[in-house]
C-alpha cells in the first residue's frame, strides 16, 4: 500500500469537514514564543538556526507596533539550579538545564525589535497559557486574535496555539515566523494545527492585516 501524499491527506481532511477558516478578528495581540538564546543559538542543546524566522518575526513586531497592537514575548526560566521547578519535563530532556535563570539561555534574542510597552511572559512548560497570566493580559487588551510566532513549532508554539483555541482566542500561526529543530515535526505540526486548531497563515497576509488596522489600543 502506498503512503498517502500531503495533498491527498489535505483533501481527505477537507472532505471530512476539517480545516475551515477561523479568520482574523478585530483586535489582535502578537505572541513571540521563546525566541531566546537557548533556542536561537544552533550550538546549544535546544538550539537551531532560526535566522529567517527572527527576520519574519521582526517584520510582524514592527507592524504590530505601528498598529498599536500589544506584543508579548515569552521565555522559559527555572529558578532552581536542580530544576525542581521544571518537574517531570526535566527528566525528558537534559537541555532544560540551559534554561536556568542564572545563565543567559532564557534571555531574549538581542535581534528582536523590543520596545517600551512590550511585555515579557515567564513560563515553566510548553504552553504560554499554562501557569501564567496570559489570559488576563489578553482580556485586559481586549484581544480576540492571537498571532502566534516563535519556537518550536511542534512544542511551545503548538501547545500555545491549541490553548488559545481552547480559551476562546483566534490562533493565527504565521508559517514563516515559526521554526523547529525538525523539518518533519515542523510540517506535521503546521498541518495538524491548520486542520484542527488554528489558521496557518502567510507572512504577507498577516502583515497586510496588521497594516490595515486602525490603532487598536
Which residues are known catalytic residues?
A: 156
The residues facing 175 across adjacent strands are none
Residue 12: partners with Cβ closer than 8 Å, 6 or more residues away? 4
Q: For residue 152, say if its preceding peptide bond is cis, omega within 30 degrees of 0.
A: yes
Q: Are 178 and 48 in contact (CB under 8 A)?
A: no
The CA distance from 178 to 176, in Å, is 6
Dig out the grid coordinates for 135 from the structure. Answer: 489570559
Dig out the grid coordinates for 73 from the structure. Answer: 514575548
The CA distance from 139 to 84, in Å, is 31
Amino acid at each position: 500500500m502506498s503512503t498517502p501524499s500531503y495533498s491527498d491527506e489535505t483533501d481527505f481532511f477537507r472532505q471530512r469537514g476539517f480545516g475551515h477558516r477561523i479568520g482574523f478578528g478585530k483586535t489582535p495581540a502578537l505572541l513571540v514564543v521563546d525566541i531566546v538564546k537557548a533556542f536561537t543559538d544552533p550550538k546549544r542543546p535546544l538550539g537551531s538556526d532560526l535566522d529567517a524566522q527572527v527576520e519574519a518575526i521582526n517584520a510582524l513586531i514592527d507592524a504590530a507596533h505601528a498598529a498599536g497592537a500589544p506584543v508579548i514575548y515569552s521565555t522559559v526560566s527555572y529558578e532552581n539550579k536542580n530544576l525542581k521547578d521544571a518537574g517531570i519535563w526535566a527528566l525528558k530532556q537534559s537541555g532544560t538545564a540551559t534554561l536556568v535563570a542564572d545563565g543567559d539561555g532564557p534571555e531574549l534574542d538581542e535581534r528582536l525589535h523590543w520596545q517600551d510597552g512590550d511585555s515579557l511572559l515567564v513560563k515553566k512548560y510548553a504552553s504560554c497559557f499554562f501557569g501564567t497570566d496570559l489570559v488576563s493580559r489578553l482580556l485586559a487588551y481586549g484581544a480576540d486574535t492571537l498571532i502566534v510566532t516563535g519556537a518550536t513549532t511542534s512544542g511551545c508554539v503548538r501547545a500555545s496555539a491549541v490553548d488559545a483555541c481552547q480559551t476562546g482566542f483566534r490562533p493565527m500561526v504565521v508559517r514563516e515566523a515559526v521554526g523547529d529543530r525538525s523539518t518533519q515535526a515542523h510540517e506535521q505540526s503546521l498541518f495538524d494545527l491548520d486542520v484542527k486548531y488554528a489558521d496557518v497563515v502567510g507572512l504577507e497576509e498577516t502583515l497586510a492585516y496588521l497594516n490595515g488596522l486602525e490603532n487598536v489600543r
